[in-house]
Structure 1
């Protein structure tokens, strides 16, 4: 019953996902001192919600455009459920914006498959990843996706290896120019720096432990089948599936390195993890197991809201 609703792309799926995302966004703000009578605050919060939902729509676009699923909507359902599982992911403005730009960059990296306008796509991907890093420094790790994709495509053309670095350099130069204009300083506009922390004490609560354990357990289990299924994909699409796997590893690395571990850092992991788990759900033969598997992921966030 549950899986049949999202097994095909339907308008109702987006409505359901919209309200799950809205619930995650609202629940994250309980207990926060937010002045909803202030028009500026309402506009700001409304804009952040739209960034959240736009990120989900962007994931759906990436999946459909590059045939990363069997035309189901499991990935958008899972993304919204992840937001509800760790509602803290909707609180950090910088991470929300950074992740959105990461997804824009990921879209360009995966589109390298077509071999059309490679120069533009390589520049755009690096450009978006560099902008993402302006909001959250460790997002620059996604730049590795470009280099790995070039290796997987066995692209030995020198200019294709140079262009991504010019994309990053362009953002750096533009930002320095803006710094001089607005701050009378070369680095005034740079607010994100390479800080890190290996202190995981903030995760030492029942809600965090349960949420992280379930997400990582389901993610790792699905990844094993996901990796095995890549060889069954059409040759032209294999690199795209491998890119998603590498993106998930990078997302996990960011969680590990995050200087402030308040849960919001998991947002970088949500998109690739949603795609990986969605692929696994699609290949489960036993309907009853598919229902239970997805059912646990649906029930989990609502249980955690009561803790």
Structure 2
């Protein structure tokens, strides 16, 4: 029953996801709301909604799943399991720009306007870095994408640096106009922390175990399914996998480990697990697999 509901794209699925988002956002921000911050919280909630819509758009337009809505369901459930992912406005906004950059990398498959897409990807990722410094690691994704698409044009390898430089010059110019200083507006925090003590709670232990175990298990079959696809359609799926891999290092390096840093990992892992769900032939196992992912976040609410 659960699998049949989300196996096809339906308006009802978006309504269910919306209410899960409302619950996740309310839980994450219940101790940090007052009248002065009400407008800010409304904007951040809309950012969460837009993130879901962008993920669905990327997946549906590039056929990353079989026309299902599993990816947005999993993304919203992961937010519910880790409600702190909805609290950091800088990371929420950074993640949106990152998704826009990834979208441009994935659409390189068409080999139309390749130079523009590379520039756009670098441009969006550079903006993401302005809001959260360690999003800079995702620049590696652009170079990986060029390798995956077997791009030997030297000009294409230089374009990402042009895109990043463009954002830097615009930002510095704005800083000079507003603050009469070159770098004040950047406010970069490049610090690193290896203190994982905040994860020593039942909620984090259960959620991270679920996220990594289900993600790694699904990735094994995801890789197998990629190898079974035509060579021309493999790169977008590999971009998703490398995005999840890079986001793991973002979590490791995050200067403040309060759970919000997991946001970068949720979208790619949701797509990977959605692909695995679609390959499961045994209906009872598919229902069990999806049931665990659905009910664990709600069970955690009672802890």
TM bin, normalised by shorter chain, reads over 0.9
Q: Tell me how far 1:4 sits from its aligned partner.
A: 0.4
Q: In structure 2, how many angstroms separate the alpha carbons of the residues matched to 1:42 and 1:198? A: 33
**Structure 2 partner of 1:35:** 34
Structure 2 regions of 5+ residues with no counterpart? none
Q: Deviations over 1:235-273 (max 9, x none)?
A: 221001111000000111101110100000000000100
**Structure 1 partner of 2:298:** 302
Q: Tell me how far 1:153 sits from its aligned partner.
A: 1.3
Q: Tell me how far 1:29 sits from its aligned partner.
A: 1.7
CA-based RMSD of the aligned residues comes to 0.8
Q: Tell me how far 1:51 sits from its aligned partner.
A: 0.5
Q: Deviations over 1:90-142 (max 9, x none)?
A: 00000000000000000000010000001110000000000000000111111
Q: Deviations over 1:142-181 (max 9, x none)?
A: 1111111111111111110111110000000111111111
**Structure 1 partner of 2:26:** 26
Task: After TM superposition, list the pairs within 5 Å mapping 1:141-290 onto structure 2.
Answer: 141-290=137-286
**Structure 1 partner of 2:13:** 13
Q: Tell me how far 1:194 sits from its aligned partner.
A: 1.6
Q: Tell me how far 1:295 sits from its aligned partner.
A: 0.5
Q: In structure 1, how many angstroms separate the alpha carbons of the residues matched to 2:11 and 2:288? A: 24
Q: In structure 2, how many angstroms separate the alpha carbons of the residues matched to 1:96 and 1:159? A: 32
What is the TM-score when the length of structure 2 is the normalising length?
A: 0.98
Q: In structure 1, how many angstroms separate the alpha carbons of the residues matched to 2:121 and 2:209? A: 32
Structure 1 regions of 5+ residues with no counterpart? none
Q: In structure 2, how many angstroms separate the alpha carbons of the residues matched to 1:192 and 1:137? A: 6
What is the TM-score when the length of structure 1 is the normalising length?
A: 0.97
